[in-house]
Chains A and B, each alone.
Chain A
Amino acid sequence: MTRFPARNKVPEFTVFASLLRMATKYGYSDVREGLVEDLKRAYPTEWEDFETAKVLGEDVFGSPKPHPNAVLNLFLEQRIKFALPFAAYRAALCGPSSLANDKRGTVLPRLTLASIIDGMGEIRRFMTHAAHGIAYVGNLSVCPERACVLNVGINRAGRRMEALRRVSDVMVNKSEGDVLSSLSLGNLLCADCAKLLKTGHRDCRKRLVWARLPSLLGWESWEGV
């Protein structure tokens, strides 16, 4: 079954939201199921699906892109539970001012907002601990390669510690593919250190961020959703 054949993709958010509301209210169950199906790849519930997804979050909708808060509000209103943790995470990633946006359609319910703030605080704390663990006391802390910025010989200039600090900063929010480019360390790290950094970062995200996404909205785990 081809959906929205004119563009062969999910329509813009306002149309999608209208159709979802109307399909729910007037009992077009087939249409609702089809619309929800379109969301499943962009709002994954499994880490493996998240890793392989080409389009994530609100990017699945046609242009113009909706505000993440608006998407979360729609999912809350329409009780699309499976997508709520990831939608909340996408909203939180945009930062505090975006999360507390007070424009029409983007105002989150107070309890939801408070829950997301608390949850993101916890995730950031866990992630920061883990990032420091990798960068300061793990294998990255000492590198025998003289060309690597993490070589102990460079430590005297404080450059190595500065690099480690930036590693910890970026690892909290960026995906592992973005870490090196964001740090501009691609040509400063040796291959082994870069690999260790990416692997450690990925493990942290899976164990500490992904596993805790449901807590953003009060669930203990993905099973609870």
Chain B
Amino acid sequence: MLHTGTYLLICDQELREFHATWLKREKEQRDAAGIQESKEGEEKCTMAAEVSAEVETPVTFFFQNIPAPTIDINLPSSITRSIEPPSTFQDVESSSKTRVSIPAAAAFSPTLCISTLSGSTPTEFGEEIEQSEGQATVHHDTFYFEDGNVEIVCGDTVFRVHSTIISFTPSKLQDILSPPTPLHAPMPEGLPRIAVSDIAEDFAVLLKAIYTPGWVSPSLEVSSAG
């Protein structure tokens, strides 16, 4: 026979045990995260020590028919003589990589500042549009049309789509693909490439909705009324 009070006590006991288990798991996760952070910190210290011996900063530039970016290297004046700057900026552009060696004794955490054009990109999604050069990319299986006229990059996946079709679906995506944004975008494969911060799987579903009239709702159908 089980009385009401006893039964309630059992229920409370179950809850307390679950609370305790949950709190214990949280603590273990926090501890594990703390250990990992401390290990990372040690690795960073080690790397910093190696860097102080000799700083070799690989700088990669891609030539584009756009206004030249500026490079500012802030170094102590005592070591600026040891660096041979290129005679012109064009020389830097023509080489794929330029290494700047700094003597260990004089290196005081130099900073490299490269101004990009992202700040001048006139778009509502400006903060999401990134330069994606140098990153290994793969073409999406379905939404990479050879006759597309604009490329969209999500992570390492490239979509090649038709800006005209997308323009029939009034949305913020249309704003991104409309001029002047594509005019400022890099063109690694001959077409403007715009990077967005979405997951590729999510973006593929959106494109399927756009390219498959009636799949979702008439609002995404391509129509002359758009």
**Chain A residues in contact with chain B, CB under 8 A?**
1, 3-6, 14-15, 17-19, 21-23, 25-28, 30-31, 34, 96, 100, 102, 110, 113, 117, 121, 124-125, 128-129, 132, 136, 158, 161, 165, 168
Contact = CB atoms under 8 A, between A and B. Distances in A.
Contacts of B1: 158, 161, 165
A117 B218 contact: no
B77 interface: no
Nearest to B201: A18
Which range contains the number of B residues in contact with the other chain?
20 to 34
B138 to A, nearest CB: 19
B214 A5 contact: yes
A117 B19 contact: yes
Nearest to B4: A132
The 5 closest A-B pairs by CB, nearest first: A30-B219, A18-B205, A22-B206, A18-B202, A96-B18
Contacts of A5: 214-215
A25 B173 CA distance: 9
Interface stretch (B7-15, B62-70, B129-137): B7-15
A28 B169 contact: yes
A103 B219 CA distance: 36
Given A17-B202, A100-B21, 9 more contacts: A18-B201, A21-B198, A28-B169, A31-B209, A34-B216, A96-B21, A117-B22, A129-B4, A132-B7
B38 interface: no
Contacts of A158: 1
Interface in B110-167: none
Contacts of B18: 96, 117
Given A25-B198, A100-B22, A117-B18, A19 B216 contact: yes
Contacts of A22: 198, 202-203, 205-206, 209
Interface string B1-36: 110100110011001001101100110000000000
24 contacts: A3-B216, A18-B199, A18-B201, A18-B204, A19-B209, A19-B216, A21-B202, A22-B198, A22-B206, A25-B172, A25-B198, A26-B172, A27-B171, A28-B169, A28-B219, A28-B220, A30-B219, A31-B216, A100-B22, A100-B25, A117-B15, A117-B19, A128-B7, A168-B7
Contact of A26 (B19, B206, B217): B206
Interface in B181-226: 198-199, 201-206, 209, 214-220
Contacts of A4: 215-216
A129 B171 CA distance: 54
A5 B25 CA distance: 45
Contacts of A100: 21-22, 25
Contacts of A6: 215
A4 B203 CA distance: 18
A124 B12 CA distance: 9
A3 B216 CA distance: 6
Nearest to B205: A18
A33 B107 CA distance: 59
A34 B217 contact: yes
Contact of B217 (A3, A25, A102): A3
Contacts of B22: 96, 100, 113, 117
A28 B19 CA distance: 42
Contact of A19 (B15, B199, B206): B206
A1 B214 CA distance: 10
A26 B209 CA distance: 13
Contacts of A15: 205
B217 A31 contact: yes
Contacts of A124: 11, 15
Contacts of A18: 199, 201-202, 204-206
